[in-house]
Every structure is written in structure tokens, then in C-alpha cells.
């Protein structure tokens, strides 16, 4: 899942896809960026119109809709995208509804249904629904971090979001869960969640998405600024998939895709060697 933020203030890519006056998306620039991401191997383009960085200012739903809808309408009809799906990164049902009408196939809700109407939009439209884990709102989420048993509590709260989605009529096949790396978590908690997907999948019962790309917990480990966290992000994505994540949300698509391909090829080569050695009755060489 490639990140396509049309915001002035996202922590890494804020402002890059906006016109010079920063008031609206620069549609030709967005289109060529989306085509490049699809060519590089992104299966999903995640379009966001509101920054959810810690302390970010909330935007009005009208402003958010005005940022994402034209951006989604163009790629949804673009054959050069080679079948990549569009998702909309929003916490608001009315933005999600407009985005799905414009061609988005997935709703990515980092709040895990804070807007009570969101589940109904997914149920009525049949769109995929990513349920994120976050306590509170981005403005304040880092101010009261408190878990006594991180994995159990995140799993329980995700299970509650899933139950609300199911009660509103969302089918199990529509759902993906996300432990919300960096959303109201310490650096150490975020690090643990990146490699917890298999456990979460077992505890909650749904495929897991991990968004670790360039986040501050990687800065805490490497002591690097956001612009210099690409290798750290690629390492996190490979580990996330190795530990059971089904989707990784990233800024650096070509680097991540290469790394994931290499990791998969190495493991496949090893597995085949073990299989042929055991067929031959010997130890792997
Ligand atoms: N992180 C950000 C935004 N959207 N969505 C999901 N599902 N998971 C995440 O971890 C996530 C997200 C953080 O902001 P960014 O768009 O600037 O990366």
C-alpha cells in the first residue's frame, strides 16, 4: 500500500502533491506519482487528505473531501494504474462515502470507527475496511499512553471495532485490522507491534496491515531524521511481512517491493533445498 498524502502537513510527504499555493492538489503531479507507484509495484494507493501526525490540527470534513475526491476520481479511471486499488485514508464517514462514490475500493480508518456512521458506509458500499487501533484523537493521543498488557489490550480493542463493523453489516471478507503503530504508543510499543501480526491475526481473526514507514520510533532506534529513515522503513516492512502482516503501508515503494521480493526468494530457495534434501534422505546442504 503506497502512501499518497494530499495534505500540507503530513510528517514526511506533506505538501509534495499540492499546487504551489498549497490550497489544492496538483492533479497532473498526483497522476504521474500514482502511475509511478503502480509501476513500482504498489497494489493499493492510499489517498489521505488529513494529517494524523501527533498533535495535527483537524481539518473540516468539507476541506478534507475537497482534497481527496478529485485525486481519487482521476486515478480510479486511469488504465495506466495496472489494476492498483484506491483506498481513502479518513476517519470521517462523509468523506469515505464521497471517496467510494469517486472510485475508492477501500476505506482506511485509523480511528477504528470513531465516526459511528463509518461502518454503515462500508456495509452499504461493500468497500474494504481497514480498522486501525488508536485511543483518543491525533491532537492528544500521545499525552496519555497507558497499556498494562499491550498486545492483549490492542487485540481486545480491535475486536470491539470488528464487532461494531460486523453488527452494522460489514462482511468478514471486507475487513483488515491494524494495530496503529505510532498512534498513542511509545517507541518501544510501536516496535513490538510491527512484529506482532501473527499473534494479532490469531487473537482477532483478520489479516493485518502495518504502517511503520519513516515513523518516529524508527528515528528513536537509528537516531535519524525522517528524511533519512528509508532503510529503517524497508527493514521494518520486511520484518512485518515475515511476522505475518498481509499489507504494509509505505512511502518508498520500489525499495520495499525489491526487499520483499528478495526476502521471499531467499526463503523459498531455502525451503526448496530443505525439501529436496529431505526427499533424498539427507541433511540440507
Ligand atoms: N499511519 C499514518 C496514516 N495512515 N493508516 C494505517 N492504516 N496505518 C497507519 O499506520 C497509518 C495510516 C501516519 O501518517 P502518514 O500518512 O504521514 O504516514
pLDDT (tens digit per residue) in 232-283? 999 999 999 999 999 999 999 999 999 999 999 999 999 998 888 888 886 6
pLDDT of residue 136: 79
pLDDT of residue 168: 98
pLDDT of residue 162: 98
- Specify the ligand 1 atom closest to the Cα of 213: 18
- The answer to whether residues 96 and 213 belong to one domain is yes
Q: List the end-to-end C-alpha distance of the chain, in Å, as a whole number.
A: 37
Domain count of the fold of the chain? 2
How many angstroms from the chain centroid is the CA of residue 180? 9
Residue indicated by cell numbers 513490538: 192
pLDDT digits (tens, 9 = 90+) for 178-190: 999 999 999 999 9
Residue nearest atom 1 of ligand 1, based on CA coordinates: 211
pLDDT of residue 70: 93
Interatomic CA distance for residues 35 and 104, integer angstroms: 16
Letter string b/e over residues 67-95, b meaning 16 or more CB atoms within 10 A of that residue's CB: bbbebbbbbbebeebeebbbbbbbbbbbb
Return the CATH number at 165: 3.20.20.20
Rounded to two decimals, what is the model's pTM?
A: 0.94
- Specify the ligand 1 atom closest to the Cα of 181: 10
How many angstroms from the chain centroid is the CA of residue 276? 38
Average pLDDT over residues 50-55: 84
- The answer to whether residues 157 and 285 belong to one domain is no
Interatomic CA distance for residues 285 and 279, integer angstroms: 13
Query: What residues make up the domain containing 112?
Result: 2-252
Burial of 279 (0-12, 13-18, 19+ CB in 10 A): exposed
Three-class secondary structure of residue 176 per DSSP: strand
- The catalytic position among 214, 249, 268, 273 is 249
Residue indicated by cell numbers 461494531: 164
Answer whether 249 contacts ligand 1 (Cβ < 6 A): yes
- The answer to whether residues 145 and 20 belong to one domain is yes
pLDDT of residue 284: 63
Average pLDDT over residues 208-233: 98
23 is catalytic: no
pLDDT category, 57, cuts 50, 70, 90?
A: confident
- The answer to whether residues 230 and 284 belong to one domain is no
Amino acid at each position: 500500500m503506497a502512501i499518497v498524502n494530499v495534505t500540507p502537513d503530513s510528517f514526511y510527504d506533506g505538501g509534495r502533491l499540492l499546487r504551489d499555493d498549497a490550497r489544492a492538489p496538483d492533479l497532473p503531479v498526483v497522476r504521474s506519482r500514482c502511475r509511478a507507484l503502480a509501476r513500482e509495484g504498489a497494489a493499493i494507493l492510499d489517498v489521505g487528505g488529513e494529517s494524523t501526525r501527533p498533535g495535527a490540527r483537524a481539518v473540516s470534513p468539507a476541506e478534507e473531501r475537497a482534497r481527496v475526491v478529485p485525486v481519487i476520481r482521476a486515478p480510479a479511471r486511469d488504465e495506466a494504474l495496472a489494476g492498483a486499488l484506491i483506498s481513502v485514508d479518513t476517519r470521517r464517514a462523509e468523506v469515505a462515502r464521497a471517496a467510494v462514490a469517486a472510485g475508492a475500493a477501500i476505506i482506511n480508518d485509523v480511528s477504528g470507527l470513531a465516526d459511528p456512521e463509518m461502518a454503515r458506509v462500508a456495509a452499504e458500499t461493500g468497500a474494504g475496511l481497514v480498522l486501525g487501533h488508536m485511543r483518543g484523537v491525533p491532537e492528544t493521543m500521545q499525552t496519555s499512553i497507558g497499556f498494562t498488557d499491550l498486545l492483549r489490550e490492542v487485540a481486545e480493542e480491535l475486536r470491539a471495532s470488528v464487532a461494531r463493523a460486523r453488527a452494522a453489516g460489514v462482511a468478514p471478507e471486507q475487513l483488515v485490522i491494524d494495530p496503529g503503530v505510532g498512534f498513542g504508543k511509545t517507541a518501544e510499543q510501536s516496535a513490538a507491534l510491527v512484529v506482532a501480526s501473527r499473534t494479532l491475526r490469531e487473537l482477532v481473526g483478520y489479516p493485518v496491515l502495518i504502517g511503520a514507514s519513516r515513523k518516529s520510533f524508527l528515528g528513536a532506534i537509528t537516531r535519524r531524521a525522517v528524511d533519512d529513515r528509508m532503510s529503517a522503513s524497508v527493514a521494518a516492512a520486511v520484518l512485518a511481512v515475515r511476522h505475518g502482516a498481509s499489507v504494509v503501508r509505505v512511502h518508498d515503494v520500489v525499495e520495499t517491493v525489491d526487499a520483499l521480493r528478495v526476502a521471499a526468494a531467499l526463503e523459498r530457495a531455502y525451503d526448496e533445498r530443505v525439501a529436496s534434501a529431505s526427499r533424498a534422505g539427507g541433511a540440507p546442504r
